């Protein structure tokens, strides 16, 4: 009966060591899987947040562009009205006058007045449209930079997720091999211990 004490103790120790090894491997695999899921969740959430910000920026820019264009048209229209009023007033003042030295006839003066007002009105509209266009260009550039940054960040996090997933798969694949190695090594140690013991203390299978 005494011959069984040592191998039983060694066997129990080997089994406990194997179980601890397997448990540790599974825990680490679970951690890798959790990391992979967290990396993907974070990547998707941050990408969605950036897309939402981009949408708000795009909407605000479009509203501002429309505002600039409408404001330019209103101011241009006001300039035209002011020009017509000035022309009407000039017409009233020069109705009975003939040609004005250095300026021409009243009709010519009125024509120049209208032409000047129309040019000023067109310049105002064109200036507003240019501001709107420049805003559109700068906004598009800002959105491109944000999109590139968001894509790069998401790609980086997805790469980390893939690494964690691959590490988890590697642990699962190696766990069986490592477990078998532990059992074989432990068994070899038990056998070696038997041959190192006095023959009377060995198990029957290891006696001469």
Domains in the chain, CATH or no CATH each: 2-206 (1.10.287)
Count of CB atoms situated within 10 Å of the CB of 90: 15
Query: Angle at Cα 156 formed by Cα 153 and Cα 159, nearest 5°?
Result: 150
Reduced to 3 states (helix: H, G, I; strand: E, B; else coil), residue 100 is strand
pLDDT band at 169 (very low <50, low <70, confident <90, very high): confident
* Percent residues over pLDDT 90 in the chain: 38
* Percent residues over pLDDT 70 in the chain: 69
160, HSE (Cβ side, Cα atoms, 13 Å) = 14
Q: Which of 88-97, 141-150, 186-195 has the lowest mean pLDDT?
A: 88-97
Average pLDDT of the residues in 35-63: 94
- The one-character DSSP state at 202 is S
Cross-strand partners of 104: 100
Cross-strand partners of 82: none
CA-to-CA distance for 119 and 80, rounded, in angstroms? 9
What predicted TM-score, i.e. pTM, was given to this entire model? Answer: 0.64
Q: Which residue has the tokens 């300039």?
A: 79
Average pLDDT of the residues in 168-172: 81
User: In the predicted model, is pLDDT for residue 119 greater than 80?
Assistant: yes
Q: Residue ranges of the alpha helices (H) in the chain?
A: 5-93, 106-196
Say what the pLDDT of residue 102 is.
47
């Amino acid at each position: 009966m005494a011959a069984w004490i040592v191998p039983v103790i060694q066997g129990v120790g080997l089994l406990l060591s194997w179980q601890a090894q397997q448990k540790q491997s599974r825990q680490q695999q679970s951690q890798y899987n959790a990391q992979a899921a967290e990396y993907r969740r974070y990547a998707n959430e941050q990408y969605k947040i950036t897309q939402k910000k981009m949408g708000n920026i795009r909407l605000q820019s479009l509203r501002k562009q429309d505002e600039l264009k409408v404001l330019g048209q209103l101011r241009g229209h006001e300039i035209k009205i002011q020009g017509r009023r000035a022309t009407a007033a000039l017409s009233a003042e020069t109705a009975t006058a003939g040609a004005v030295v250095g300026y021409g006839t009243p009709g010519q003066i009125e024509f120049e007045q209208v032409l000047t007002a129309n040019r000023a009105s067109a310049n105002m509209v064109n200036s507003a449209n240019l501001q709107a266009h420049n805003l559109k260009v700068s906004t598009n550039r800002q959105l491109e930079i944000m999109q590139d940054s968001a894509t790069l960040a998401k790609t980086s996090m997805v790469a980390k997720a893939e690494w964690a997933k691959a590490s988890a798969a590697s642990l699962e694949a190696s766990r069986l091999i490592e477990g078998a190695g532990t059992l074989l090594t432990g068994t070899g140690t038990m056998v070696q211990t038997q041959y190192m013991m006095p023959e009377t203390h060995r198990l029957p299978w290891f006696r001469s």
